[in-house]
């Protein structure tokens, strides 16, 4: 289902992906199952993408989760590479050319651009969603907005016992 999408159509593409993802995850609460299906859906639907996957926060590093693509780095320290910097700053990072990103960790030498979106639960970092492309300048602000929406649908799907409730009500409770 990979087809080229003009920039103006990205909003519609991501809206459709979010609707499909919601329907796919609505009755499942398992972290691994939902991460696996999210990665598979994104790899299937996004054009010009060669790797999609998750890294989950564990202490001060990211640990590889479900993904689609070639084998990947298993652990990344916060602050290292694109994933580690996105995790440390709890913000999305777009890298148009990974060869020009200081400290880039190359798991697949074919990847030339990357976007990493933090997974947040009540402001606490739970991990990152990482998407790579063989094309330079593959990702833009539309992808940032779209993938942040995908991350939100994914995080909403998880059971409260998979992720701690950090809300004020729970703290007072």
Distance CA 77, CA 128 (A): 12
pLDDT in tens, 38-48: 999 999 999 99
Domain count of the fold of the chain: 1
Distance CA 171, CA 73 (A): 36
pLDDT in tens, 61-84: 999 999 999 999 999 999 999 999
Question: If pLDDT is split at 50, 70 and 90, which confidence band does 36 have?
Answer: very high
83, part of any domain: yes
Polymer length of the chain? 173
What mean pLDDT is reported for the chain? Answer: 89
Is 18 within 8 Å of 153 (Cβ atoms)?
Answer: yes
Sorted by sequence, the CB contacts under 8 Å of residue 100 that are 6+ apart come out as: none
Domain assignment of residue 94, given as a range = 9-159
Residue found by looking up tokens 């920039």 in the block: 7
3-state secondary structure of 3: coil
Tokens of residue 23, six digits: 């329907």
pLDDT, residue 162, reads 52
Question: If pLDDT is split at 50, 70 and 90, which confidence band does 1 have?
Answer: very low
Among the ranges given (15-29, 75-89, 135-149, 155-169), the one the predictor scored with the smallest mean pLDDT? 155-169
pLDDT, residue 102, reads 82
97, part of any domain: yes
Question: If pLDDT is split at 50, 70 and 90, which confidence band does 106 have?
Answer: confident
171, part of any domain: no
131, part of any domain: yes
Sign of CA dihedral 122, 25, 145, 119: positive
Question: Domain containing 134 — which CATH number?
Answer: 3.30.450.40
């Amino acid at each position: 289902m990979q087809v080229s999408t003009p920039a103006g159509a990205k909003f519609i593409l991501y809206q459709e992906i979010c609707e499909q993802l919601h329907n796919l995850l609505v009755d499942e609460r398992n972290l691994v199952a939902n991460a696996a299906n999210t990665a598979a859906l994104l790899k299937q639907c996004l054009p010009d993408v060669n790797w999609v996957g998750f890294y989950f926060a564990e202490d001060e590093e990211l640990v590889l989760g479900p993904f689609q693509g070639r084998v990947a780095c298993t652990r990344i320290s916060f602050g290292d590479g694109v994933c580690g910097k996105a995790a440390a700053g709890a913000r999305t990072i777009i890298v148009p050319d990974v060869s020009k990103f200081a400290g880039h960790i190359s798991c697949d030498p074919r990847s030339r651009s990357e976007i990493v979106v933090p997974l947040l639960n009540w402001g606490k970092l739970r991990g990152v969603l990482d998407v790579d492309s063989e094309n330079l300048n593959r990702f833009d602000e539309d992808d940032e907005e779209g993938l942040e929406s995908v991350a939100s649908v994914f995080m909403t799907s998880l059971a409260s016992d998979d992720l701690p409730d950090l809300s004020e009500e729970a703290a007072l409770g």
